[in-house]
Amino acid sequence: MKFKSKLIGLAASAALLAAPLSQAATSVWKVSKGDDYIYVGGTVHILPQSEFPLPEAFDKAYQSTQSIVLEADLPADDDVQAQVAMMQRVSYSDGRTLKSVLDDNAYQALAQYLAGFGANVEMVNNFKPGMVSTMMTVMEAQKAQMGDKGVDAYYDKLASKDQKLAEYLETVEFQLDMIAGLGEGYESKFVTMAIEQVSDFKPMMTSLIQAWRKGDAKTMVELVHEPVLAEDPTMYKAVFTDRNLNWIPKLEGLFGDQDKEFVLVGVGHLVGKDNVLSLLTNKGYKVEQL
């Protein structure tokens, strides 16, 4: 399998847990300290409608909690002003363009790839490589008819309907700056890898979703983590390691009150090296898979 997922995990964003998880059932865990606890669910950011209803453990965790905690509060699709501001954040503003930062081979490969979707490379010339990679993932998801919004969006909408409080681990600006920084300094290599990696999008996503539904940590690591660690450790650190560490104090802050929270983050953050659950285990929290 050629696809070695980068942003499925933002997009998605997405595994053999360092915490003891030998009897996997699905991608939801109870994290407790004494009598206090939260639920943590691993999500897939892009999920076909055919994958609903979700595994039962997700609904049980949701019904048992008073609020949800998501990665970031993304603006609505019809919020034009916010969407424009987002696009500006992942675009060049210093005179550079993709054509100026990519070598000829990478630029022509990108042009050929986009032509396959009826798009001209000039349409994305102002975007930074990280954003282009994200757009490619979305395009492949739509092509594979797998482009519906995922678990996070589902619970965000449901919590709004049920008037449950929603909290966030990051700002949208932080996530956009992370995407904008991907590939910085090795743009041609980054874009070339991204083109190769999206070539097997549908079989990769199909396998990932199957593993996610079963809580198959080993397969999720093989699909999401190992290829990125091998080919782009800089990106792995930015997308997974650094963010996991940043989230720990915020997750610890959820303890000590009467409310119970359901934390929903890309499943890639809950599996593999230095994952959120293993970091919490190391701090003395008890982690149980549902």
Residue 123 has pLDDT above 70, yes or no: yes
Query: For residues 72 and 96, what is the distance between their CA atoms, to the nearest angstrom?
Result: 29
- Pairing mode of beta strands 28-33, 36-43: antiparallel
Q: Could you tell me what percent of the chain has a pLDDT over 70?
A: 92
Residue 199 has pLDDT above 90, yes or no: no
Collapsing DSSP to helix, strand or coil, 34 comes out as coil
DSSP state at residue 149: B
209-227 pLDDT per residue, tens = 999 999 999 999 999 999 8
DSSP state at residue 84: H
Query: For residues 134 and 230, what is the distance between their CA atoms, to the nearest angstrom?
Result: 20
Collapsing DSSP to helix, strand or coil, 125 comes out as coil
Query: For residues 227 and 236, what is the distance between their CA atoms, to the nearest angstrom?
Result: 10
Query: For residues 130 and 177, what is the distance between their CA atoms, to the nearest angstrom?
Result: 10
Residue 23 — pLDDT band, cuts 50, 70, 90? very low
